[in-house]
Structure 1
């Protein structure tokens, strides 16, 4: 029931936003002249701007807000929207309640979910675009050839975090160079009494889907998600269904932690850091947990990262809502310009301070990454240049694959049922947004 309810809520939100866009064509939608970008220090005394943020991103703007308010005289209020963040935002926007800026997952499916062409300001002529590293400039944030999201931190990458000391103690001198070597490394470790992989199925098993998606990297480069979007290929066809089947086969082989069904995200970091498990397929947010458990020096000593794909070391990128901001069409020209100005400052004069305050990797060629960034996160960033988009980045809709895989782990779904349920929901979401072929 849990996954069905969530899917129904998403479909309802998408439909409401679509209808809202159709019923009010004068609310900022349609073609318009390119927006002007105010100077970063233009006076905004008496102007209040609102930023919506999730519980895990509401402190991210602190250094930027402080500097911008001092420079311009504006007031910037950061408002925390309750979880589930994306659904809460969609519900508010569908009723006409919008902020000036919001943290948002800058993928095609999630920009579509906000009815971007009607509700969001285009950012195509932003003055900071050429400051991005070339491989990051156009990696995400674009829908129907229009840029609607400003990337502020490097997108997350699905790949393998591993314990260097466990590898060394068991004679593993090189990281696996493809999926088959990765699985064989797991089998070799198991033969020596080491738990190869750690995952979690208890609670909300959101990381389960990474195991399927990294297996799809080569197919994604070959247009998999374009075919899925056109209803020419489905989750029950051999490519995606085969990845689901393979994930289950690794579980049945005993390559995961014994408490797979009950383990939680909070258990994963300590297991990898202590060496109780050798590897975890995860994204950048996992490293935040590791940073809460150890300092940079210990992490550099113990934790490494490598991307993985069937044929090589190709990463799968998956931007999340903490990576980017969108600016809304509020109908107030001064506030809309102020929102653009804040973005210009964030990715302009305020960016170096932001990178240091967040101890993060820089997106820009002329701004150095923080010295506090561990080597594993630098490896994640380096992998982006050759990475391919995830389901969330490239598909027109984002079904509850992870919840269905959680049901698989708990024994309440078969692999075939996972594929069928995911495809059914994907088709419903695609139909709700008016996608051709559905």
Structure 2
């Protein structure tokens, strides 16, 4: 999750984003890489470093062990403390680069790393023909050049629900639209059940409530309009979603401790049946997996995507879903980094998804035993999902902080919109974008 402070976000954007508005010829080539070595090429004496966040530092364990055995290379994972994105950008701005790093593969976050200068293009990657065509180009591309390799299924904003709570209250069909979901929630409240659980204390998930309501607008080009200045966060279509969120909270459809509740509280509440639903992303299910085994999760937890017009998801690939390879100036290490990606997503891919008990991105590689049903349902929502703010906006302001302030009574919906738009323009400008009318 993006938890930057405004000041640091602006500072790092200014430092890393300068290339976005400078002479492109000075930034290095954007064409194909210098080649894709055979995944089994020997690499004795080569040392590679992967940067990761605290929630992704075990993801490559199986891959690293297998790659070291196959090639003789040494691969070290370095955990960058949270907030991860801030830490990585600060280090890269000072010239400190790893060989590879987990990174949110959206255009805005690739821009934040000044991909053209700092990252190796992954053009012609040998594993791409094996990737599900519906997912192949969903993310990881900036200015028609591929810079990120998707290794796990991108996160989707949607609704996790407790199957037992639904069944006990006679809910036999899943809501088919946002309004239908609210009707279900109102019925649950009348029966003394807490319909929704929100983690206002940890704040970052508050934005999902606005974004799922904007799914239809996103499908119709909202983020392009905001990028071009034709619309803003203060436009009526955005403000009404913020206001609706506030109205639902005032209606009492959320947990009474919404202002202080945490991410951990949210997981515990849904799993125990203390609450019926939570609007969340894939990392939430990872937390549930830490609390219960697959059998219990399949029994209790389900997922459905939601939007005003129907069951449409909003995808938001995060840093645990993808890796980027850096230009380090060392040709041998750069080649070895590409080789590791080719090994990971080529001959080792089946072993990787089996180790992680995660959904396969490659149709020829079946999902391993033990993947929870809810995760399969999340993945199934991807082909028809629309892009999130993080995926499609040229800059990503801290909407969630402003919404948390609204929950705490210090901002109105209109003030949330105004503050978010102001920061959006600042971040976009710092990254080299000109927002007309700003």
Q: Pick the TM interval, shorter chain.
A: over 0.9
Q: How far is 1:240 from its partner?
A: 1.0
Q: Which residue of 1 aligns with 2:132?
A: 133
Q: d(CA) in 2 for partners of 1:24 and 1:424?
A: 27
- On the 8 A contact 1:209/1:405 being kept in 2, the answer is yes
Change in 2 beyond 3 A, CA 1:165/1:218: same
Q: d(CA) in 1 for partners of 2:70 and 2:138?
A: 31
120-129 or 33-42, larger mean C-alpha shift: 33-42
Q: Which residue of 1 aligns with 2:34?
A: 35
Q: How far is 1:21 from its partner?
A: 7.6
Q: Which residue of 2 aligns with 1:340?
A: 338
**Local SS of the residue matching 2:164:** helix
Per-residue CA deviation, residues 51-87 of structure 1 (Å, 9 max, x unaligned), is: 1111111111111011111111111111111111101
Q: Which residue of 1 aligns with 2:79?
A: 80
Q: How far is 1:22 from its partner?
A: 7.7
Q: Does 1:196 align with 2:201?
A: no
Q: How far is 1:18 from its partner?
A: 2.5
Q: Which residue of 2 aligns with 1:60?
A: 59
Q: Which residue of 2 aligns with 1:162?
A: 161
Q: Which residue of 2 aligns with 1:399?
A: 397
Q: d(CA) in 1 for partners of 2:114 and 2:330?
A: 19
Change in 2 beyond 3 A, CA 1:164/1:21: closer
Q: Which residue of 1 aligns with 2:316?
A: 318
Change in 2 beyond 3 A, CA 1:383/1:22: closer
Change in 2 beyond 3 A, CA 1:42/1:26: farther
Q: How far is 1:133 from its partner?
A: 1.0
Q: d(CA) in 2 for partners of 1:95 and 1:55?
A: 22
Q: Which residue of 1 aligns with 2:173?
A: 174
Q: d(CA) in 2 for partners of 1:22 and 1:430?
A: 11
Q: Which residue of 2 aligns with 1:208?
A: 206
Q: Which residue of 2 aligns with 1:429?
A: 427
Q: Which residue of 2 aligns with 1:18?
A: 17
- On the 8 A contact 1:52/1:102 being kept in 2, the answer is yes
Of 369, 375, 378, 1:377 maps to: 375
Of 346, 365, 368, 1:367 maps to: 365
**Local SS of the residue matching 1:431:** helix
Q: Which residue of 2 aligns with 1:300?
A: 298
User: Over aligned residue pairs, what C-alpha RMSD do you find?
Assistant: 1.7
**Local SS of the residue matching 1:234:** coil
Q: How far is 1:436 from its partner?
A: 2.8
Q: Which residue of 2 aligns with 1:355?
A: 353
Change in 2 beyond 3 A, CA 1:61/1:28: farther
- On the 8 A contact 1:92/1:98 being kept in 2, the answer is yes
- On the 8 A contact 1:27/1:331 being kept in 2, the answer is no
In structure 1, list runs of 5 or more residues that go unmatched: none
Q: d(CA) in 2 for partners of 1:385 and 1:73?
A: 39
In structure 2, list runs of 5 or more residues that go unmatched: none
1:179-328 paired onto structure 2 within 5 Å? 179-202=178-201, 204-328=202-326
Change in 2 beyond 3 A, CA 1:217/1:148: same
Q: d(CA) in 1 for partners of 2:381 and 2:87?
A: 33
Q: Does 1:144 align with 2:143?
A: yes
Structure-1-length-normalised TM-score: 0.96
Q: Does 1:107 align with 2:72?
A: no
Q: Which residue of 1 aligns with 2:7?
A: 8
Q: Which residue of 2 aligns with 1:50?
A: 49
- On the 8 A contact 1:220/1:389 being kept in 2, the answer is yes
Structure-2-length-normalised TM-score: 0.96
Number of matched pairs: 435
Q: d(CA) in 1 for partners of 2:81 and 2:21?
A: 27
**Local SS of the residue matching 2:214:** helix
- On the 8 A contact 1:116/1:148 being kept in 2, the answer is yes
Q: d(CA) in 2 for partners of 1:5 and 1:268?
A: 22
Q: d(CA) in 1 for partners of 2:32 and 2:186?
A: 59
Per-residue CA deviation, residues 317-361 of structure 1 (Å, 9 max, x unaligned), is: 101100000001111111111110000000011111111111111
Q: d(CA) in 1 for partners of 2:157 and 2:375?
A: 12
Divergent runs of 4+, >6 A: 20-28
- On the 8 A contact 1:164/1:303 being kept in 2, the answer is yes
**Local SS of the residue matching 1:228:** helix
**Local SS of the residue matching 2:101:** strand
Per-residue CA deviation, residues 86-132 of structure 1 (Å, 9 max, x unaligned), is: 01100111111111100000011100000011111111210000111
Q: d(CA) in 1 for partners of 2:309 and 2:17?
A: 40
- On the 8 A contact 2:4/2:86 being kept in 1, the answer is no
